[in-house]
Amino acid sequence: MRNTGFTKHYYIMLLPGFIWLLLINIIPMFGIVIAFEDFNPGKGFFHSEWIGLENFEYMFSLNDTAVIFSNTLTIAVMKIAGNLIVPLIFAIMLNELRFAVMKRWIQTVVYLPHFLSWVILSGILLDIFSYTGPVNTLLKLFDIDPVLFFARADLFPFIVVGSDVWKEFGFNTIIYLAALTGINPSLYEAASIDGAARLRRIWHVTLPGLRTTIVLLAVLSLGNVLNAGFDQIFNLYNPMLYSTGDIIDTWVYREGLLNMQYGLATAVGLLKSVISFVLIVVSYALASKFANYRIF
């Protein structure tokens, strides 16, 4: 009884956030009925003609659908992998640094890009990789012909993934660094007494110590498998890059907001949400099994 009294104010504190969630995330969900309607804004949700699964049938008849789903999957999976591995390596390297001041300084610098929006960063990227930009100037020094990066559909996913990892790795490093502090220093001491050199210590002490964290992060990111990053790609792509760069979100944006194909765009968005939902459930089950992670 005493316990309930004590926790009440937590719920009160939670209330504003919950109201926000309700207004912004839960209530608009009723809009998914549009996916099953020939939506007519003048008539609204309740009076538009109900056409069942027609939007979905049309969606699967489009050649685009397979392309955008596979583009999304490719880019998102590469991003997930990159954002797991690069910060891990970086955190371990940082952990091996002995100068505390330098360590903190580096840590601060590398996570700064995380706070820049893609609108700004993509402008910078377009300049850096432009035909007369720094990258091509550099290539020229090695007698390589300038490359028109943003006309090369084959290179685009790598530019997207590379820049995303560059932007986020500093921030993701923090989680690993936190986990690293939890490893008992006496393990390192014991290992070095046993004659283990640095790499051996990383292999036998650091990595096993991080295993749960790695598994947890990997499993939780499953829910993002269909999120390839709208704002990044939208600000970088052009028609030359559609074949590898057009993702579900950019497509839905063009269909729904620009071409007013509300039903179709909602259907695709809904499909994406359903798949993501299944993945999140699966990832939660996996997380609780392998990393003992529980929300409730």
Partner 1 sequence: MIKKKISIAMALMLVVLSACSQSEGNKVNTPSSSTEEETTHQTDESEQPSDPFGKYSETITLTYGKAVDPSDKSLPAGDTPEKNQYSRHILDNLNVDTKVIWQAASGTNYDQKVNLAISSSDLPDALVVKDTQLRKMVKSGQLEDLTDIFDKYASPAMKNFMAKTNGQSDKSVTFDGKMYAIPSIQVQSDGVHEMWIRKDWLDKLGLTPPKTIEELEKVAAAFVEQDPDGNGKKDTIGIAGQQNGGRLYTNFLESTNNTFGLDPIFGAFKSYPGFWLENESGDPVYGSILPETKEALGKLRDLYAKGLIDKEIGIRKSAYEPVTGGKAGIFFAPWWMGYGPLPDAIKNDPSANWQAYLLPLDADGQFNSRMGAPSTSFVVVRKGYEHPEAVIKMLNLLVRDEAKFDISVPVGYYPLRVPMSYTDESEYSAKALKEVLAGTKKPEDFTDPGYKLLAADIQNVKKVKKEPYDNMDIQHWDPQADTGTWSRIYSLLVGSSPLEQNYNKVYSVLYSQTKTMESRWSNLKKLEDETFMKIIMGAAPLDQFDKFVSDWKKQGGDKITEEVKAYNQ
Q: Which stretches of the chain bind partner 1, using CB under 8 A?
A: 6, 9-10, 12-13, 15-16, 19, 39-44, 58, 62-64, 123, 126, 130-131, 148, 150-153, 238-240, 242-243, 254-255, 257-262, 264
> In angstroms, rounded to a whole number, what is the distance separating the alpha carbons of residues 283 and 277?
10
CB 261 to partner 1: min, Å: 6
Choice between 24 and 258, CB closer to partner 1:
258
Half-sphere exposure of 152 (CA within 13 A, CB side): 14
C-beta separation of 244 from 70 below 8 A: no
- Smallest gap, in angstroms, from Cβ of residue 175 to partner 1? 27
Give whole-number Cα distances, 126 to 70, 111, 138, 235, 261, in Å.
Answer: 25, 21, 16, 9, 30
CB of 156 to partner 1, least distance (A): 12
Residue closer to partner 1 by CB (options 22, 97) is 22
56 vs 111, beta carbon nearer partner 1: 56
Tell me the closest approach of the beta carbon of residue 277 to partner 1, in angstroms. Answer: 25
Nearest to 89 by CA among 162, 180, 181, 157: 180
* Residue 272 CB, nearest approach to partner 1 (Å): 18
| Joined tokens for residue 153 | 């559909």
Query: Residue 234, CB half-sphere, CA atoms under 13 Å: how many?
Result: 15
Q: Shortest distance, CB of residue 41 to partner 1, whole angstroms? A: 5
Of 157 and 170, which has the nearer Cβ to partner 1? Answer: 157
- Cα dihedral across residues 134, 135, 141, 144: positive or negative: negative
CB distance 165 to 253 below 8 Å: no
Nearer to partner 1, 62 or 73 (CB): 62
User: Judged by CB, which is closer to partner 1: 9, or 294?
Assistant: 9
- Please tell me the distance from the alpha carbon of residue 150 to that of residue 236, in angstroms, as a whole number: 8
